[in-house]
Chains A and B, each alone.
Chain A
Amino acid sequence: MIHGQHMDKIEVMPELQQIIGALLFASKEPLMISQIRKALTGVAETGKEIEKQFGNATPKDIEKAIESLQKLLKENRCGFQIAEVAKEYRLENDTSCGPWLKELLNPTKPQRLSRPALETLAIIAYRQPCTRSEIEAVRGVAVDQMVRNLLDMQLIKIAGRSELPGRPWLFGTTQKFLEHFGLKNVDDLPGTAELKRLEEETLKSPSSQTEMDMGDEDDEEDNS
């Protein structure tokens, strides 16, 4: 943003998005903006004159280039796209192409979470950071074994200690949680505001419906 002058220049140059595409293509691990930037500045220090300009690309420029590349891939139906999870980017295939990939790669049958596990996760995801007793208040049953299982699966983590008596652990979701469900961040969960902290008054009126809006996530019916 400081380099406003350069930004204008870079924006009209398609090369930045090309470089980023190449980096994402070659990298097996997801990339952070800072890693992309490091590659750009690294080349600028030693590279030729023409390569130096990219050294000035700001994180914002990189983000913009990623966005335009995302748009391009989507519009041209390339079969893959750039996915973002917790500010990390990587290439993944279009969901609709899954059946053919499964045929080709013949992966082991994926492990799915049980309903009680998903419910416990949902409570933690919406209410985080939260204590075990907060989860138990909603579910009405002891959850220590379940919490331990979810910790083992690295879908949740200890996120500190509460100031409440006995200083109980606080739990929160992990990056693996986001990855598992394909979420950018926890705010990406549908109906977040409503479920975060239910105020007494939202529950006071018996007329309110139990059905909740699931948001506008592409909510394709399960196909298995």
Chain B
Amino acid sequence: MNASQQEQSVGIVKPERYHFDDALTLRSGKVLASFDLMVETYGELNAERSNAVLICHALSGDHHAAGYHSENDSKPGWWDSCIGPGKAIDTNKFFVVCLNNLGGCAGSTGPTSINPETGKHYGPDFPIVTVRDWVKSQVMLADRLGIEKWAAVVGGSLGGMQVLRWTISYPERLDHAVVIAAAPKLSAQNIAFNEVARHSITSDPNFHGGYYLEHGTTPKQGLKLARMVGHITYLSDSAMRAKFGKDLSHFGANFGRDLRSGTLSFGYNVDFEVESYLRYQGERFSENFDANTYLLMTKALDYFDPSVDYGGDLSKAFANSDCKFMLMSFSTDWRFPPERSREIVEHLLQAKRQVTYLEIEADAGHDAFLLPIPRYIRAFSAYMNRIHRELTANAS
């Protein structure tokens, strides 16, 4: 952490473990008798307990959304661009809560935890949890923290899906829903990419049917490949051209075809920068993430469809969602493109809900929601300020 990183940062933060002894019945019918959630909070809860904001994380996120864990930390939490003093989610105004979801691998109960029934790692026996189950556990956390109503529940991508679930299942417990770069449910193409990721993990010889920890190994190659595929879907063609196209030929842009060593190898090793980048990203990820968690998270994505309880009509799902909605999407996001957000908006309008919706021009693809894109940050800040004004007006 350097001086410029300290400015506008929540600084050094310490995660806390919350233990729950209440049984949690999951959508699959299975029951978790007890569980832990790893939680970070930033800012102060006000006397009325009305300024709390819940952050829901996406596929590979965790409770560490902002700040640093130590002085030596080089990288802040995953959404530090948007959470901190003076940032879009201003920690001078809001009490911000972020947790690692159940089934995660950053400290909350998940496949790498010890199964109390067997004394061994859960591994593949950890029950599949869904977005609905996550939100159920988040409600239990809110109860524990004494937060009756969130000023806002906020999330991007899979996080945005959790926000939608909050508005449908617990509408009385939030004032605002901020849903960024999300979709009402996955498309066949989305599921197909998830299936490739899962297949690459389960076909790794070190997978051992998911019991790899019992064998003292991990399906590293499979997880790496899964992440490489995933990473391509988070970026856009234009973002990749810019990122890997710094060398200008005499024709101008080179379409992102920068060479690693300036010359072709005429072999099957890395020739282009993009190859090296994907390998590096996959490698780093496979060292820090659990393969069973990755499988579980992709299933939670695939299964998400809040319209199923309403005969496929999403607008009926929103019939009681009397919170206010703010949605944003990004022009080059082809994982959850603007059309998918517009679908949600259309159903919200059919349900006569109050909604604000912005389509942000951005080159970065799906990843844009994590980046400090000026128009995005300005609109996000303006909306969060509006929320804060409303809650101070209600208090007086």
- Genuine A/B complex: no
Interface residues, chain B, with chain A CB atoms under 8 Å away: none
Interface residues, chain A, with chain B CB atoms under 8 Å away: none
